[in-house]
Every structure is written in structure tokens, then in C-alpha cells.
Structure 1
Amino acid sequence: MKLYTLVLVVLFSTFSFAQNISGKAYYESKTTVDMDNFGGREMSEQMKKMIAERMKSMLEKTYILTFNKNESIYKEEEKLESGPGGGFGMMMNSFSAGAQYKNLEKNQILEEREFFGKQFLINDTISNLEWQVTDEKKMIGNYLAVKATAIKKIDSADMAFARPRRGREDRKKDDAEKAKEEKIEVGDEGGGNTNETANGEEKKEEDPMNNFEIPEEIEVTAWFTPQIPVSNGPGEYAGLPGLILEMNMYRTTILCSKIVLSTKAGEKIEAPDKGDEVTREEYNKIVKEKMEEMRENFRGRGRGGRRGF
């Protein structure tokens, strides 16, 4: 009888805690880049090291998830530091998400995106991955975490998951085989930008976007804690019976470093409302068209000029 009463008390306390829970979770995000294939053999190790150091502020960030039972907003912590102001850094930042608001009750996510100077607000449903909860457990800080995995499909226009292709020699081999299949000779129109060599022969310039590829799918690993009964997590991720404390996906690791909980209402969570509202599908179409335009401009060296949105 005493045991039965104790179980009821624990269950009631957990339910009551879940109804009123709110707080903030701080996450450290780190992304690695395979510098071995970056830039090919022509780039020196010293140059690769310098580029990696300049990219550090872009690849290592701190985020804050402010949440309650049904809502959350995930934002990058503001820092007074100078990162890469242009070139590769500016380009890759154009593919990074801004504030991400989730409403679990409505199954809605609102995501800010600034793409080449234009502000967008993506209105979409939360990606409910088919999580497979495992028996693996570990301690993350003072919390017991349980491992779960899922397969995430990647849109071909999502440059946030772009990664360097294999070595230059492998790419040349693939390009030669592809050209043979399509019966395209080097120097033909549409084959890219060309320059004449010392022998008067035309040399095909490689499209810089060919140095990157986007996987069709990736494996996502999450570690969640049932001790914080909120079905939420960093970024777009949710759907597990507890707050996600750690995420691993391709070359990115997101780890919770600090949690501040409260059983009070907490601060009001406001959904973002700036930017042209679009669906995820519409936004990906805009990105894809813009990337194709950039590739055409490269091939034609600006032929037709740069078009705006």
C-alpha cells in the first residue's frame, strides 16, 4: 500500500512538473571540415590551417533554447567578435538558420532565414523523424540520457549540409566518364568556362560548386533525458519523451552545457514575424534557382548579369 502511494506521488509530481516546466538550455555547436580535400593539392597546409582558423567562428557557436511545455525558440547567442566578413564565410552564413520557433501543440516551426540579403520566414510543420529509442544510456552532466537514432532526408537545395567532394583526381575521373556518356567534348558550348592554353587548346574551368555535394540522407543521433519531460530540443528537432541534450549529425555535434529550469511560467516566448513568409518547399526552390543562376554566371562570366529576387 505504501509503495503504491509512493508511485502515485511520483507520477503526480512528474505530471505537475511537466505542466509548469520552463527554462533555458545552452548548447555548444561544433562542425568539422575535412581540410584534406579542401582546395585540392594546389593549396598548402599553411593556407588550409589559416582558412580553418578563420572559419572557426562560423563552425563553433553557442545557442540558447528558451522553452516551456508547448513552445520554444532557439537562437544563436550574440557575441561581439569578428568572423569572416565576406567570401566563403558570408556565403555559408547565407545558408544558416536564424531564430527557430516551435509550437509542439500546433506541430509548427517558424524559421528565420536571410538568403543573400533578403529576409525570409519559413512556415512549416515540425519534422517528426521516426526515432528509434535504444537501450544505451549515459550521464550528461547531472542528467541520465537515453540514445535515439533516426534517418533524416536532405533536400538537394539545403546547402547547410554541403560537404567537400572526394579528391580532385576522383572528380576528374567521374567528370570524364560523365562526359563520355553524354558525348560532350571539352570546349563544347555549355561545358563550362574555357581558357586557351599555351598550345592554343582550350582548357575547361571547373565549376566551383562541383567541389561540394549534398547527401541524400544522414543518420541523426540524439541523447534525451526523461528527467526533463519536455518533448523538445535544439533547432528543428523534437519528438522524444524528454529534452534532447546532445545531437550528432554528419560533422556537427550539439551538446548542452547548461540548463536553468523553473516551475513558473517563465518569460514569454514570441514567434518571429519578420521576412517574406514562405513554405519550406518554396524556400528551397528559391535557393535552388539562385544557385543555378550563380553557376550560369560563372560559366558565362556574368553573361546576362546578376538578377535580384
Structure 2
Amino acid sequence: MKKVILTFSMGLLLLAAHAQQKQGRVLYERTIQMDMHIEGLVPANDGPALPQSHKDKLEVLFGNDQSLRRTMDEEMPEEFSERAGAMHATMMVGDAADVTYNNFATGQVIAQREFGAKNYIVTDSVHKLNWKLTGKTSTILNYPCQEAVAQLIGKRAVIRMENDQLKTEEVPDTSSIVAWFTLAIPVPAGPEYQGQLPGLILGININDGRTIYTATEVSEKTDVAVIKAPSKGKKVTVAEFNKERDKMIAEMQRNGGGVRVMSTRQ
């Protein structure tokens, strides 16, 4: 009995020690399954196959009730192309150069988004999902985690070939989300869904593996001064950014140029 009590007490002390961490840096690996179909486009037999998945790394800095998410890769993510007649389309993983700032005290979200060689500063607020705890637990990087699930009703981009032209449209899309968070670090930061759960998110699985975030390193060291809202770019609302993006895509399609597909989280 003494051994059991001692072990339990040591566990509480370890959890209490972790719970003091209110600032830090987390590295994540993100894997995106490239489930892409272009109606009317037949890939050449001798051409390169489209990649089945894309991996990249990003970091999240948190402290002073704020967080900052940014990609780690210095180069742009891998591009791949497919040629159909005279039409040449360039597909690219979205949000490669984006920076997202969250203020947990105010619920404000400020993102720097790049599109068409232009930078935009998009101001929004946290749109909380209806999270439910499943009671399942796990351990990630020695941190005890709890599982939370939710559904996100949004939109996704669909590319179609019409009259030898690529057309992009947004269709309704419902995503199932599984997140693993730890109360040992009581900060609502993470690679996605910041400000929505009571602890640091260390893992996310969207639509049974279509997108997976996995924490690979957690550190208490971070430069808190770096955690601030981005400011370089045209200031717009989410609706204004989507309008300018759609206008630019339509113009590129009319000119027969490349089409860049960005991920849309609405």
C-alpha cells in the first residue's frame, strides 16, 4: 500500500511540475493526404505520378496568454504539375507561408496569408466547435493527454475541367476532428483550433488521417517577444480575403495560367 501511495504522490508532483509551464515552443509534423481528382483530366502514362501525401513541419510559440504558429520550412512546399493539352496547372499545399497569431484573452485571431505574391492580414475571432470528451487517454511525449472530438462544417475546394478550362469551386464539407490535449500544460495553444481546449494540443487527426498533426518536441524555452500579431500586408476581413482570392483565381483561369489551390478553413 505504501508503494502505491508513493507512486501516486510522485505522479501528482510530476503533473504539478508540468502544470507550471505557461510558455514554451512546440514542434509539429503535419501530414496531408493529397486526395485530388480533376474531372476530365487524364494523366499521361509517362508523366510523373501525383504525390500521395505531403509532409511539412511547423512550430507553435506560446506565452503571455498568446500563441504564434508558423511553418519551419525555409523553402516553399513541394510543387507538382500535370499537363493537359495547353493547360498547365500548378497545385500547391496551402498555408505554406502563413503566420497565425492568437490572443486567448480577447479571442482575436490575426493571420498573415500569402496569395498571388501578395500578403494579407486577415482579422477574425475564434469560432469554437462543440467539443466532446470521450474519456480516452493517451501519452504523447510523456504528457498525459485526453481525447476530444468535434465536427467542423465548412467548405473545401473542388477542381473541375470544363471546356478545356480548370474551374475551382467551393463545396460544403463536414470534417470529423480528433484532438489530444494535455492539462499538464494548461494553455489553449496548438497547431489548429487554438483557444478551444483547456490544454495544449499535442495531436490532431482530421477525417481519419486526411490531415494529421503530431507533436515531436515540447520545450519550455521560447522568445516571448516574438509572439505578436503579424502586420505586413493588406488588412482585410475573412470575407474580403476570400473575395480577392476567388477573383484572382478566376483571372488566372481566364488567362490560362497556373492555378494555386489553398486550403480553406471556414
Shorter chain as denominator, the TM-score bin is 0.7 to 0.9
| 1:218 Cα deviation after fit | 1.5
Equivalent residue, structure 2, for 1:241: 198
Return the TM-score normalized by structure 1.
Answer: 0.65
Which consecutive residues of structure 2, in runs of 5 or more, have no partner in the other structure?
A: 82-87, 258-266
Equivalent residue, structure 2, for 1:158: none
Which whole-Å deviations, capped at 9, do the CAs of 1:80-138 have from their partners, x for residues lacking one? 5884388655x535665611111100101110111111110001112211211211122
1:152 touches 1:219 (CA, 8 Å); kept in 2? Answer: yes
| 1:238 Cα deviation after fit | 3.0
Q: In structure 1, what is the Cα distance between the partners aligned to 2:197 and 2:251?
A: 40
Output aligned runs, 1:1-309, within 5 Å: 14=16, 17-18=19-20, 21-34=22-35, 37=37, 42-44=42-44, 47=47, 49=49, 51-52=50-51, 59-79=54-74, 83-84=78-79, 88-89=89-90, 92=92, 96=96, 98-155=98-155, 161-162=156-157, 205-209=163-167, 214-250=171-207, 251-261=210-220, 266-268=223-225, 269-295=227-253, 297=254
Q: In structure 2, what is the Cα distance between the partners aligned to 1:15 and 1:284?
A: 44
| 1:235 Cα deviation after fit | 3.8
1:100 touches 1:235 (CA, 8 Å); kept in 2? Answer: no
Residues 223 and 163 of structure 1: CA distance in aligned 2, closer, same or farther (over 3 Å): farther
Equivalent residue, structure 2, for 1:196: none
- Quick check: which one's strand share is greater? 2
Residues 79 and 136 of structure 1: CA distance in aligned 2, closer, same or farther (over 3 Å): same
1:162 touches 1:215 (CA, 8 Å); kept in 2? Answer: no
Q: In structure 2, what is the Cα distance between the partners aligned to 1:46 and 1:135?
A: 50
Aligned residue pairs: how many? Answer: 239
| 1:146 Cα deviation after fit | 1.2
Q: In structure 1, what is the Cα distance between the partners aligned to 2:18 and 2:147?
A: 25
Letter of the structure 2 residue corresponding to residue 24 of structure 1: R
1:94 touches 1:116 (CA, 8 Å); kept in 2? Answer: no
Letter of the structure 2 residue corresponding to residue 243 of structure 1: L
2:28 touches 2:214 (CA, 8 Å); kept in 1? Answer: yes
Which whole-Å deviations, capped at 9, do the CAs of 1:239-293 have from their partners, x for residues lacking one? 111101111223111111110025xx85312221110111112111222333344
Which whole-Å deviations, capped at 9, do the CAs of 1:140-188 have from their partners, x for residues lacking one? 2212221111122324xxxxx43568xx9xxxxxxxxxxxxxxxxxxxx
| 1:219 Cα deviation after fit | 1.7
Equivalent residue, structure 1, for 2:85: none
Indicate the percent of aligned positions where both proteins have the same amino acid. 26
Return the TM-score normalized by structure 2.
Answer: 0.74
2:70 touches 2:100 (CA, 8 Å); kept in 1? Answer: yes
Residues 97 and 281 of structure 1: CA distance in aligned 2, closer, same or farther (over 3 Å): farther
| 1:48 Cα deviation after fit | 5.1
Residues 213 and 283 of structure 1: CA distance in aligned 2, closer, same or farther (over 3 Å): closer
Q: In structure 2, what is the Cα distance between the partners aligned to 1:41 and 1:118?
A: 30
Which consecutive residues of structure 1, in runs of 5 or more, have no partner in the other structure?
A: 156-160, 169-191, 193-204, 303-309
Residues 214 and 256 of structure 1: CA distance in aligned 2, closer, same or farther (over 3 Å): farther
Q: Which runs of 4+ in 1 moved over 6 A?
A: none
Q: What do you get for the CA RMSD once the two structures are aligned?
A: 3.5
| 1:79 Cα deviation after fit | 3.3
Letter of the structure 1 residue corresponding to residue 148 of structure 2: A
**Which is greater in Rg?**
1
